[in-house]
């Protein structure tokens, strides 16, 4: 397909997505073929690159097949633009891609995982990450594929890459569940147990409860009441982060301020809601109430 015909490409993607959502899973392969064709024609320098083990870094100038020395990123939200600038420090102008390539590849990755095609899913998520290295869903999707492929060290790398993008109680809980799975697989049930307990503190899930029950049965020991300080001490020894990245939370808060200054109250509310979710700061709660009426 000719990717210069943007409207046709958008239409075709929507058609495949709709067919797949109706249960026509055989169309997943067609979507993959469409994206392969797109990938062969794109010449712009993408925002990032992913190595064989799942480490994410900024792309290199020589990765561009076009003439302009610019980076193209496929955003889901404006705050990602600032997170990308903060963490990857681009060496040239960064522009938004004309098509949501990141969403296309991430959607294909999700479909591959549903069909238990984990290798194809990992490749799709890597492509999504190349278009947007701060797309948390794509990074977590890549980690999930490594989990099913039993590539535990790559699973850990992807999980740690995802960590600094986790900015809500639910995503922090998922980070600790991921770490719990890793340490349980490494036969460190006490560390895994602390991770699952900590996960439930952030956001209670049946998955964490189920894993804690499994550990209880394996150790023949009731889940103890661990103080947060005890768990954090265990985390220090294993390289597990004790809470969200203050840098990420700070960047998102600053984006909220920038959106307020631009009178874009909807986007400001998005950013402040994320920060409030993780911090519960009283003044921020009052500001959000005020923004509801703007």
pLDDT tens for 250-282 read 999 999 999 999 999 999 999 999 999 999 999
Give me the pLDDT at residue 166, please: 97
Q: How far apart are CA 194 and CA 213, in angstroms?
A: 13
Q: Is the pLDDT of residue 5 over 70?
A: no
3 state SS of 72:
strand
Distance CA 167, CA 272 (A): 11
Give the model's pLDDT for residue 67: 62
Q: What is the pLDDT of residues 187-204, one digit of tens each?
A: 999 999 999 999 999 999
| pLDDT at residue 219, rounded to an integer | 93
Write down the mean pLDDT value for the chain: 90
Q: What pLDDT does residue 29 have?
A: 75
Identify the bridge partners of residue 95 per DSSP, sorted by sequence position: 72
What is the Cα–Cα distance from 291 to 154, expressed in whole angstroms? 42
pTM, two decimals, is 0.92
Residue 64 has pLDDT above 80, yes or no: no
Paired with 94 in beta bridges are: 71
For residue 244, pLDDT beyond 80: yes
> Residues 141-169: what's their mean pLDDT?
97
Average pLDDT over residues 114-123: 92
| pLDDT the model gives residue 21 | 65
Name the E strands within the chain. Answer: 45-46, 48-50, 56-58, 71-73, 94-96
Q: Token pair of 60, please?
A: 């290199």
Mean pLDDT of 122-135: 96
What pLDDT band is residue 36 in, cutting at 50, 70 and 90? Answer: confident
Judge contact between 158 and 188, C-beta under 8 A: no
What's the rounded mean pLDDT across residues 89-109?
Answer: 90
Cβ-in-10-Å burial (0-12, 13-18, 19+) of 89 comes to exposed
Q: Residue range 127-145: average pLDDT?
A: 97
| Percent of the chain scoring above 70 in pLDDT | 91
Q: Identify the band that residue 177 occupies on the pLDDT scale cut at 50, 70 and 90.
A: very high
pLDDT tier for residue 66 given thresholds of 50, 70 and 90: low
The pLDDT of residue 26 = 64
pLDDT value of position 20: 61
b/e for 39-49, b at 16 or more Cβ within 10 A?
eeebebbbbbb
Q: What is the pLDDT of residue 2?
A: 57
Contact between 20 and 32 under an 8 Å Cβ cutoff? The reply is no
Lowest mean pLDDT among 2-6, 102-106, 243-247: 2-6
β-pairing verdict for 71-73 and 94-96: parallel
Question: Taking Cα atoms as reference points, which of 244, 234, 239, 245 lies closest to residue 194?
Answer: 234
Cα Rg of the chain, angstroms? 21
* pLDDT > 80? residue 28: no
CA distance 141 to 109: 8
Beta-carbon count within 10 A of 241 CB = 17
Determine the 3-state secondary structure of 94 from DSSP: strand
| Angstrom distance (rounded) from CA 202 to CA 197 | 9
Q: Is 235 within 8 Å of 241 (Cβ atoms)?
A: yes
Whether the Cβ atoms of residue 280 and residue 249 lie closer than 8 Å to each other: no
- Summarize the confidence of residues 166-190 as an average pLDDT: 97
C-alpha span between 94 and 102 (Å, rounded): 15
Ranges of beta strands (E only) in 83-219 are: 94-96
What value does the mean pLDDT take over residues 209-227? 94
CA-wise closest residue to 74 among 112, 120, 130, 35? 130
Note whether 242 and 194 are within 8 A (CB): no
Does an H or E element contain 121, and which? helix 118-131
């Amino acid at each position: 397909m000719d990717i210069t015909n943007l409207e046709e490409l958008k239409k075709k993607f929507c058609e495949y997505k709709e067919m797949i959502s109706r249960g026509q899973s055989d169309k997943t392969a067609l979507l993959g073929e469409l994206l392969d064709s797109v990938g062969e024609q794109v010449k712009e320098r993408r925002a990032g690159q992913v190595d064989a083990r799942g480490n994410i870094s900024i792309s290199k100038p020589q990765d561009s097949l076009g003439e302009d020395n610019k980076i193209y990123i496929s955003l889901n939200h404006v705050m990602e633009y600032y997170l990308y600038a903060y963490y990857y420090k681009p060496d040239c102008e960064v522009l938004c891609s004309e098509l949501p390539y990141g969403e296309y590849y991430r959607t294909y990755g999700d479909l591959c995982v549903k069909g238990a095609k984990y290798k194809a899913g990992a490749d799709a998520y890597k492509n999504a990450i190349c278009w947007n290295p701060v797309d948390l869903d794509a990074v977590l999707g890549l980690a999930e594929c490594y989990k099913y492929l039993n590539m535990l060290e790559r699973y850990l790398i992807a999980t740690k890459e995802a960590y600094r993008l986790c900015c809500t109680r639910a995503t922090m809980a998922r980070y600790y569940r991921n770490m719990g799975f890793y340490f349980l697989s490494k036969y460190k049930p006490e560390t895994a147990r602390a991770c699952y307990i900590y996960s439930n503190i952030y956001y209670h899930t049946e998955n964490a409860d189920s894993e804690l029950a499994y550990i209880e049965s394996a150790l023949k020991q009731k889940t103890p009441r661990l103080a947060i300080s005890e768990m954090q001490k265990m985390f220090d020894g294993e390289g597990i982060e004790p809470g969200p990245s203050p840098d990420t939370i700070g960047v998102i808060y600053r984006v909220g301020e920038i959106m307020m200054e631009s009178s874009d109250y909807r986007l400001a509310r998005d950013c402040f809601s994320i920060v409030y979710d993780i911090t519960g700061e009283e003044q921020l709660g009052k500001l959000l109430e005020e923004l509801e009426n703007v």
